[in-house]
Amino acid sequence: MKRVLLLLVLLFGVSFACDQSYETIEGIKIGCPYDGDFSAGVVKEDNAKVTIYERSLENSFFDSAIIEVMDGKVESVSLSKIFNDLDILKKEREGLFKSLDHQWGKGGVIGDNEALIICVNKTPRSEYLASIIVMSSFIESAGILQVTYASKQLSD
């Protein structure tokens, strides 16, 4: 009896698994079917094939995720964090750059001022990702740190 129950659990676990190449970012599988509420999406202005979803993140460094879905599959995830202190933003950005370089390979930094810094990695160590872009901006008393992971399918 236990074997039959175990077999059923394994069958259902495998049938719902993503059987293609993907990358997991904050629990979101880029390259797999979107598992959220399809009625909550907004069609992307410049590409009618892409639908955009927004999700708040709990128990994460980031506050929210923007998820781009094309043909039912997640093809891009943008993670955002808002800051009210420039010193904290700079410290967190430095740690994020080191972490991304370690995980995916070194990216190139464009600009070197406090108002806007962009880091681009067009060749991440990934079978599925085409690029990772980090944007850090700070204007007056508000700043944002955003990381976008885009698939090769979305880039084509």
Residues 3-17 as b or e (16 or more Cβ within 10 Å = b): eeeeeeeeeeeeeee
How confident is the model at residue 147, as a pLDDT? 97
Q: How many CA atoms lie within 13 A of 84 on its CB side?
A: 0
How confident is the model at residue 63, as a pLDDT? 95
Region 99-110: what's the mean pLDDT? 94
* DSSP conformational letter for 5: H
Q: From residue 43, how far is each of 48, 74, 96, 154 by CA, in Å?
A: 6, 14, 30, 15
Interatomic CA distance for residues 41 and 139, integer angstroms: 29
**Helices marked H in the chain:** 2-15, 86-104, 152-155
Share of the chain above pLDDT 90, in %: 60
Q: Specify the higher pLDDT residue, 18 or 132.
A: 132
Residue 14 has pLDDT above 50, yes or no: no
